[in-house]
């Protein structure tokens, strides 16, 4: 079975044509990216507002409750509701994107809200003390400090949407889900397993790229980067750490010198 899957993945016939693996990967990434962009346009401003003001926290709980909704059942319900009202390929695309957007709003909203909420209040007060107003505090203080959690939410959203976008094939859309749906229908389990492998690898690759982006754009001070260390990883001595040693050493030597002086003075006085 494994040999058959490898042969299928490396075959030129699998990758060629409008319905080949390369075209399906592009379609799959397009659906996923479209869903994440729309979800981010809704969830990022909402999360910033809730985290900055502390109001309507129930919206975050409500969004997280949507994780319990079965994706495939919701897809069929939305397709039956919107499908007859839309013509052409949009009758398949819009219901799929709507369901995927509902799926990826919770991780993005939770990441943005948690990141802004975790900003130290003293940092906000210092920014206001410097004359910054509401949106300036959000742009210049809260977003940079919340960036690690914001990007973590986006990474989680991409992982979920890439893994779940396969359900779009159940209502006639393209993408890598076609290999899973058509393979099970026709009994071609090699293409079914191969499509599942490609989906997994694609999700890992996208997560790796986003992890690299996060490493590049997030300040090392927010990720526990090295501070006060040499290139070899050993702590550099500081003035604060060396001063007590010098002081202790001098105080240890001073009594001996004082005693010697006193002793010498005593002998001289006695001799006198």
Summarised one tens digit per residue, pLDDT across range 194-247 is: 999 999 999 999 999 999 998 898 877 666 554 444 344 444 444 444 444 444
pLDDT band, residue 131 (cuts 50/70/90): confident
| Paired tokens of 26 | 């592009």
Q: Could you give the CA distance from residue 77 to residue 94 in angstroms, rounded to a whole number?
A: 13
Cα separation, 99 vs 188, in Å, equals 28
Report d(CA 108, CA 87) in Å as an integer: 31
Give yes or no for a contact between 203 and 215, defined as CB atoms under 8 angstroms apart: no
- Report whether 259 contacts 269 (CB < 8 A): no
Alpha helices by DSSP H, listed for the chain, are 2-10, 12-15, 21-53, 58-65, 71-82, 90-117, 121-129, 134-137, 143-164, 177-186, 189-217, 239-271
* Residue range 60-77, pLDDT digits in tens: 999 999 888 888 889 999
Per-residue pLDDT for 253 more than 90?
Answer: no
Instruction: Determine the pLDDT at residue 224.
Output: 59
Nearest to 124 by CA among 66, 67, 53, 73: 53
Let me know if 76 is exposed, middle or buried by CB neighbors in 10 A (0-12, 13-18, 19+).
Answer: middle
Question: Is the CATH number 1.10.3720.10 carried by domain 2-222?
Answer: yes
| Lookup: tokens for 12 | 């030129």
Contact predicate 89/31, CB 8 Å: no
Highest mean pLDDT among 194-198, 241-245, 262-266, 268-272: 194-198
> How far is Cα 78 from Cα 95, in angstroms, rounded to an integer?
6
Q: For the chain, what percent of residues have pLDDT higher than 70?
A: 81
């Amino acid at each position: 079975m494994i040999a058959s899957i490898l042969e299928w993945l490396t075959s030129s016939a699998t990758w060629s044509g409008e319905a080949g693996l390369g075209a399906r990967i592009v379609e799959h990434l397009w659906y996923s990216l479209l869903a994440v962009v729309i979800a981010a346009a809704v969830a990022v401003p909402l999360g910033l507002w809730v985290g900055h003001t502390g109001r309507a926290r129930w919206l975050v709980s409500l969004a997280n409750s949507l994780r319990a909704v079965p994706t495939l059942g919701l897809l069929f319900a939305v397709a039956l509701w919107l499908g007859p009202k839309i013509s052409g390929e949009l009758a398949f695309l819009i219901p799929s994107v709507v369901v995927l957007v509902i799926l990826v709003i919770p991780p993005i909203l939770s990441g943005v809200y948690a990141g802004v909420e975790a900003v130290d209040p003293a940092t906000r007060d210092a920014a206001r003390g410097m004359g910054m107003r509401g949106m300036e505090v959000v742009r210049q203080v809260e977003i940079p400090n919340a960036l690690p959690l914001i990007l973590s939410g986006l990474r989680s959203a991409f992982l979920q949407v890439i893994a779940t976008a396969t359900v779009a094939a159940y209502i006639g859309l393209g993408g890598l889900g076609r290999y899973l749906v058509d393979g099970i229908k026709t009994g071609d389990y090699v293409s079914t397993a191969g499509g599942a492998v490609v989906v997994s690898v694609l999700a890992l690759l996208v997560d790796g790229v986003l992890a690299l982006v996060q490493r590049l754009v997030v300040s090392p001070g927010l990720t526990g980067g090295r501070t006060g260390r040499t290139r070899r990883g050993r702590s550099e001595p500081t003035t604060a750490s060396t001063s007590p040693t010098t002081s202790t050493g001098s105080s240890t030597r001073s009594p001996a010198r004082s005693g010697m002086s006193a002793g010498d003075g005593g002998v001289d006085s006695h001799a006198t």
